[in-house]
Amino acid sequence: MLLRATLGLKEDIYLIESSFEGLERNLRTLDYLDKLSLLTEGSIAAAIVVKDKNGVTIGASFKNKHPEGDFWFLIPYPAAKAARGQTEKLVDSIINGDIVSSVKKKKVDAGVFRSALREYMAVSLAEGALCECGHTREPRSFAFNDARNKQINSLLKKLAKEHNLHYKEMEALEICCGNGMSTVAIKPLFHSILSIDNDRCAVCDGLYHGTLEPKDVMVVDALELTKYTGEKFDAVLGFMLGTIYEFNKGMWRSIFQETLKALKDGGFLLLTVREKEEIDFLAEAFRSMGVEGSVIDNRNARNIYDAWAFFAIRK
């Protein structure tokens, strides 16, 4: 796995938390660290302090002895200040309290580290370790649609020509990716795509069918996406967003606000829905946030997908 290779380990390595939300709250991790802090001198054989290229500590890992083979627990530091402060304080007390026999520092690329965490979570999900939905695997035809792929590609090529967009130079975020049906169409066009969705079973299907890649997908809620992505993107895309009803318009406005937070100045938005009423609401919501865009009639007799699109460049 990428996580083991990134830290240069021979033994297996695991996360204590089972979701990206868990990594931010760190409740299981804090309990684990509390137990470590009670151990006697030299009880832990080794630890690694993980730093980024700028020397900022972004996590720590402790070696655990086991009769069937030693392993490591990795503790990535949360972004939230309070949770990070608690975690860092406990880690420092353990490392500086002579509980650990050997401590090494390891510098890693922060982007590679994040990819490794995503891969770990995704592979664990696909293997059934993080999903209890009892979901029957959907057929491959549910994740691949050639007609839709052509329609998405045609729309993106048209926009590239009209607005002089160079996708191969762009890092993009895809929201509401589902099982990755749309990801297949857009991934070859961009330098990189990070896809997110809060539906574990849909993401699991995408991983199973190969429409989603483990290191490029996250199961997180779009209402809090900037808490977990940790960066801004050249483009934010979302194809066939969930149905917009009168009762959930407030939720969608919050998602659109998060979407804007994740978008660089000069970056572009491309979002699609099925109904005209939905795109009208979407366009008005962004207009109220100071983003003027265009509504595109993208209807196609061959399928029902992506009938209406909203495109905007953030200025």
Domain that holds residue 105: 2-126
Are 16 and 28 spatial neighbours (Cβ–Cβ below 8 Å)? yes
Q: Tell me the pLDDT tens digit for each residue of 8-23.
A: 999 999 999 999 999 9
Looking at residue 132, what is its pLDDT? 63
Looking at residue 131, what is its pLDDT? 64
Task: Give me the chain's average pLDDT, please.
Answer: 93
Looking at residue 303, what is its pLDDT? 79
Decide if 223 is inside a domain: yes
Q: Rounded to two decimals, what is the model's pTM?
A: 0.90
Decide if 53 is inside a domain: yes
Decide if 132 is inside a domain: no
**Same domain flag for 112 and 161:** no
Q: Give the amino acid at 205.
A: D
Decide if 119 is inside a domain: yes
Q: Tell me the pLDDT tens digit for each residue of 22-78.
A: 999 999 999 999 999 999 999 999 999 999 999 999 999 999 988 888 999 999 999
Longest dimension (CA), the chain: 72
Looking at residue 69, what is its pLDDT? 86
**Same domain flag for 148 and 280:** yes
Tens place of pLDDT per residue across the chain (315 aa):
899 999 999 999 999 999 999 999 999 999 999 999 999 999 999 999 999 999 999 999 999 988 888 999 999 999 889 999 999 999 999 999 889 999 999 999 999 999 999 999 999 988 876 666 666 778 888 889 999 999 999 999 999 999 999 999 999 999 999 999 999 999 999 999 999 999 998 999 999 999 999 999 999 999 999 989 878 999 999 999 989 999 999 999 999 999 999 999 999 999 999 999 999 999 999 999 999 999 999 998 777 899 999 999 998
DSSP per position, 78-101: PSSHHHHHHHHHHHHHHHTTT-EE
DSSP per position, 147-188: HHHHHHHHHHHHHHHHHT--GGG-EEEESS-TTSHHHHHHGG
Mapped onto helix, strand or coil, the DSSP state of residue 42 is coil
Decide if 133 is inside a domain: no
Looking at residue 134, what is its pLDDT? 60
**Same domain flag for 121 and 144:** no
Decide if 23 is inside a domain: yes
Looking at residue 117, what is its pLDDT? 96
**Same domain flag for 50 and 168:** no
How far is C-alpha 34 from the chain's CA centre?
Answer: 29
Find the CATH number of the domain harbouring 174. Answer: 3.40.50.150
**Same domain flag for 178 and 270:** yes
